[in-house]
């Protein structure tokens, strides 16, 4: 019960990494607020957590809209009393070669994956300053460290999240707010299941552990960063990547 009595907000909580983290945080004693554009999906996860004896709230919201993010945090605080953990996790991807990358998709990915994280961090941090502290976690990606082809908007947004994490950690430490990020590699979710089989195989070839990661393996890293176990950790991006970032060129 590493999060007993804590209130945690999770964006993108209806599916994938966010859903797995919501289940784990609830099992560890937290009350979870799931923010997602897929409100029916978020409600289903909340229902499942409540049926299992936990506490959960589902809220329809778009992280790319600063007003909706503020309303989300306000609702968490008015209904649940406070906000101890913000997991800014919602994200999307668009795959296209740079030379053909549509302008609209560049803006859409940056809006959700970078501005969305900024809005969630800011709304959460303002509340946490009033409370005297808290923990913020953002979902970056190994793509924030590497020039992975055909994902320029996604990669740039994730590199921005890594830098945002460092800057906010420095600015918010005096308010007892820790800010960290997670950089998953290939995790088996809707986001990666849509890839052609050949692309999935090539990606696994570049991971020393030789397999996709599971959502629960990311959720456990988020739990560490949300818990008191990480009391002296801030500004860090934790790779959950089967060794991908440790590697260079090799053949199997």
Q: Which residues bind ligand NAD (CB under 6 A)?
A: 11-12, 14-18, 36-38, 41, 61-64, 89-92, 112, 116, 139, 141, 184, 186-187, 189-192
Tokens 């924030």 correspond to 144
Minimum CB separation from ligand NAD for residue 144, in Å? 9
Q: Is residue 172 within 8 Å of residue 124, measured between CB atoms?
A: no
Q: How far apart are the first and last CA of the chain?
A: 41
Q: Tell me, yes or no, if 154 is annotated catalytic.
A: yes
The Cα angle at residue 90 between residues 87 and 93, in degrees rounded to 5: 145
The Cα angle at residue 95 between residues 110 and 240, in degrees rounded to 5: 75
Length of the chain: 252
Residue number with CB closer to ligand NAD (11 or 180): 11
Residue number with CB closer to ligand NAD (99 or 193): 193
Minimum CB separation from ligand NAD for residue 39, in Å? 9
Residue number with CB closer to ligand NAD (129 or 188): 188
The tokens describing 155, both together, are 């990669």
Please tell me whether residue 9 adopts helix, strand or coil conformation: strand
Residue 115 per-residue DSSP state: I
Please tell me whether residue 207 adopts helix, strand or coil conformation: coil
Minimum CB separation from ligand NAD for residue 38, in Å? 4
From the CA atom positions of the chain, what is the Rg in Å?
17
Among candidate residues 154, 184, 191, 218, the one labeled active-site is 154
Minimum CB separation from ligand NAD for residue 194, in Å? 9
Residue number with CB closer to ligand NAD (117 or 169): 117
Please tell me whether residue 96 adopts helix, strand or coil conformation: strand
Residue number with CB closer to ligand NAD (37 or 162): 37
Minimum CB separation from ligand NAD for residue 189, in Å? 3
Question: What residues are labeled active site?
Answer: 154
């Amino acid at each position: 019960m590493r999060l007993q009595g804590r209130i945690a907000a999770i964006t993108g909580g209806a599916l994938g990494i966010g859903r797995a983290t919501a289940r784990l945080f609830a099992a560890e004693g937290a009350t979870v607020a799931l923010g997602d554009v897929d409100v029916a999906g978020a409600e289903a996860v909340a229902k499942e957590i409540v049926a299992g004896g936990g506490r959960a709230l589902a809220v329809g919201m778009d992280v790319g809209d600063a007003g909706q993010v503020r309303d989300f945090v306000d609702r968490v605080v008015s209904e649940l009393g406070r906000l101890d953990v913000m997991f800014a996790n919602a994200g999307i991807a668009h795959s296209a070669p740079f030379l053909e990358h549509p302008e609209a998709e560049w803006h859409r990915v940056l809006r959700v994956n970078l501005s969305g994280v900024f809005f969630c961090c800011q709304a959460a941090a303002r509340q946490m300053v009033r409370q005297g502290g808290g923990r913020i976690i953002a979902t970056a990606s190994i793509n924030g460290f590497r020039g992975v082809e055909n994902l320029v908007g996604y990669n740039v947004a994730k590199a921005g999240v890594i830098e945002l994490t460092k800057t906010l950690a420095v600015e918010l430490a005096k308010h007892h707010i820790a800010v960290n990020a997670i950089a998953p590699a290939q995790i088996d979710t809707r986001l990666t299941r849509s890839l052609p089989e050949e692309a999935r195989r090539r990606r696994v070839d570049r991971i020393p552990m030789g397999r996709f990661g599971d959502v629960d393996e990311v959720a456990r890293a988020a739990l560490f960063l949300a818990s008191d176990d990480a009391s002296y950790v801030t500004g860090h991006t934790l790779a959950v990547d089967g060794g991908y970032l440790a590697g260079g060129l090799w053949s199997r």
